[in-house]
Amino acid sequence: MSHRFLLDAMLGSLTRWLRLYGYDTIYLKDVEDIDLIELAKKEDRILLTRDELLTRIANKRGIHSYYLNKINDAEALLEVARVFNLSYNIENLRCPLCNYVINKIDKNEIKDLIPKNTFERFNDFWICKGCKNVYWKGSHWQKILSTLNNVNELKGNP
Ligand SMILES: [Zn+2]
């Protein structure tokens, strides 16, 4: 069974990294601590927060909560990957925008959704089933994938 996460507003930018790493992750802003705790309980999610007091309260109520004080997203992702023994698989990405699973797609099927020069230059494409956003290994995406690989290597084997 795969872990699912709930992040507090202070960890918003980590959300997309955990999704790309392949984990079902949501975050809430402008809500009370009690709402975070209740949602974590209801959806069986691990609560990640930068609020140490919230971690203590949540743990007392039987919610699995972890206090994360890393500033940098890559460091934070590495810490979460280590603590919860997460594993990364490029076949298992989730959309950073909407949390749905991303699947590889034949480029001819999305020809109309991407710029012509992109279609000609690249061969590997992925599409999000949720928001229909298309991804390809352009320079930005390459950078993201190499960060994910780095984290995975640094994590080491359990
Ligand atoms: Zn999406």
Question: In angstroms, what is the span from residue 134 Cα to ligand 1's centroid?
Answer: 9
* Number of domains the chain contains: 2
Q: How much distance in Å is there from the Cα of 78 to the middle of ligand 1?
A: 23
Which stretches of the chain are assigned E, i.e. beta strand? 5-7, 25-27, 46-49, 65-67, 102-105, 125-128, 134-136
pLDDT at position 1 is 61
Select from 42, 62, 90 the last residue of a domain.
90
Whole-angstrom Cα distance, residue 123 to residue 111? 11
The letter for the amino acid at 68 is: L
121 and 48 co-located in one domain:
no
Q: Residues 130-156: pLDDT tens digits?
A: 999 999 988 888 899 899 999 999 988
* pLDDT tens, position by position, 40-88: 999 999 999 999 999 999 999 999 999 998 879 999 999 999 999 998 8
Same domain, 24 and 64: yes
Greatest pairwise CA separation for the chain in angstroms: 56
Residues 40 and 116 in one domain: no
- pLDDT for 10-23, tens place per residue? 898 999 999 999 99
Whether residue 58 is found in the same domain as residue 107: no
- Environment of ion ligand 1 (residues, CB < 5 A): 95, 97-98, 100, 128, 130-131, 133
Total length of the chain: 158
Query: Distance from the CA of 150 to the center of ligand 1, in angstroms?
Result: 24
Exposed e or buried b per residue across 62-93, where buried means at least 16 C-beta atoms within 10 angstroms of its C-beta? ebbbbbbeeeebeebbbbbbeeeebebeeeeb
